[in-house]
Amino acid sequence: MTHPTAIERLADWICDLQHSDIPAAVRAIATNCLLDTIGVAFAGAATAVARTARAIAMDAGSRGDAAVVGSPQLFSAPAAAFVNGASAHALDFDDNCYAGFVHGSAAIAPAAIAVAQKRNASGKDLLTAFIVGSECEYAVGAATNSILYDQGWWTTGVLGPIGACAAAAWLLKLDRKQTASALGLAVAGTGGLKACFGTDAKALMAGRAAEAGVVAALLAAQGAGGPHDAFEHWNGFTGLFNHGEFNVAMIAQLGSGSPWFMESPGVDLKRIPLCLSSHAAVDAAMAIVTRHDIQVDDIAEIVCDVPQIVFANLIYNKPATRQEAQFSMPFAVAVSLLYGTVELAHLDSAVLQEPRIVALMKRIKMTVGPRWSLAGACEAAPEGANVLIKAAGRDWVEGFQAYARGAAQCPMRQEEIDGKFMKCIEAGNDSNGALLLSRLKSLDMLPSVRDLLATA
């Protein structure tokens, strides 16, 4: 008897899933993920890299029914997915999931929205498709056991086309064979390197991941075939990307009655617009200075003891650009301590050059201590931090933070999530965020998503 491949298992689950199968708690999580992603896309649309993506889409003359944030023009579904994906990730303010160490929504949401608008789908169908894409991508991410990420592959670029394709395939109502072919096309053509960190490539590759997933589904809808064994093939995903390991039990978990991946490990929303690797250290440092009544100007040294993955991600000790600052532990901690938080407005060259910021950054360093070699330490705090602070005339004090505020294990309050959304809409120079927020909160009730992104 031939056992189904991982892709065929995914296709079976995608084709069988109905909106009524999804627990209310998962729908609520997904609604916040969509809300958050659309918000950061509006803010990101004002960046130079998003303007570049829009210019390329317009130059291609790709017209259709899908809206693009920051443009009155309607585009084809692949083009809209590309542009909105780039905008959603442009400020590195979008969500994250530890099932694969991946920015899921920045690729999945733009793809789902674009195809839903192409199909004139309902809000209920959009939400279902987004959940389908998220669960499939996170299942594959969990199956990699983080080997993919640890080897230097950028998981958002590698796994994003899978989630985007799954969402698009569900909306296009592909049958099992077509869905498996679409996923095979998405997996066979995927890729992404962490060399993109701190450059425009990171946002653009998130957009390309969304686009690739949509294109794979549209190709399959037209009869194109793809390898159903793209994970198991001797020249496939598992051998080339993941050192021969792939935990297929994570794929089998879909529809088995186990917790949904959007619930466990859950999805982390970002409180500040920086790489998530810095967030726990920021929270720990802020708590220490408050608890011990330390004046920032008295700080002589700060040591952030972090897992190797955090040390490897935050590579810019002396950031010179906005993007480098977003991957800098000294910048994250210094700005948080001096300003009380990190806002989008702080991602500016003038802030990078402020004498107090520069001086404090020089007193902040990272290390990977022996605590992270203990069994289970990194699993319990994937991007955690133990922060030590030495103030003039005082002993060292320390504090530990396993998960950042905003993580699934330490979630923001709903009013904080809504407040972030409104600030992002304002940062994108749009004044009617309240209308869009209301529409997104009643997504299940919308008969059509054609006007979902309209703010007028």
Task: Report the C-alpha gap between 453 and 450 in whole angstroms.
Answer: 8
Q: Where are the domains of the chain?
A: 6-271+414-445, 276-401
Determine contact, residues 310/369, Cβ cutoff 8 Å.
no
pLDDT of residue 312: 94
Determine contact, residues 309/150, Cβ cutoff 8 Å.
yes
Tell me the backbone φ, ψ of residue 409, rounded to 5 degrees: -80, -10
Determine contact, residues 79/211, Cβ cutoff 8 Å.
yes
- DSSP string of 255-271, one letter each residue: TTTSPPTIIIIIEEPPS
DSSP one-letter code for 278: G
pLDDT of residue 161: 98
Task: Report the C-alpha gap between 304 and 368 in whole angstroms.
Answer: 8
Structural class in CATH, domain 6-271+414-445: mainly alpha
> What letter represents residue 95's amino acid?
D
Segment holding 54, helix H or strand E:
helix 48-59
CATH of 276-401, one of 3.40.50.970, 3.30.1330.120, 3.40.50.10490, 1.10.3720.10: 3.30.1330.120
Tokens read off for 93: 């303010």
Task: Report the C-alpha gap between 88 and 65 in whole angstroms.
Answer: 19
What are the per-10-residue average pLDDT scores of the chain (456 residues)?
A: 91 97 97 98 96 94 91 96 98 96 97 98 98 98 95 96 98 98 98 93 98 98 98 97 96 92 97 97 98 97 97 95 95 98 94 96 98 96 97 96 96 97 89 89 96 86
Task: Report the C-alpha gap between 352 and 334 in whole angstroms.
Answer: 10
pLDDT of residue 428: 84
Tokens read off for 253: 């978990």
> What letter represents residue 180's amino acid?
A
CA dihedral sign of residues 216, 220, 222, 225: positive
pLDDT of residue 62: 78
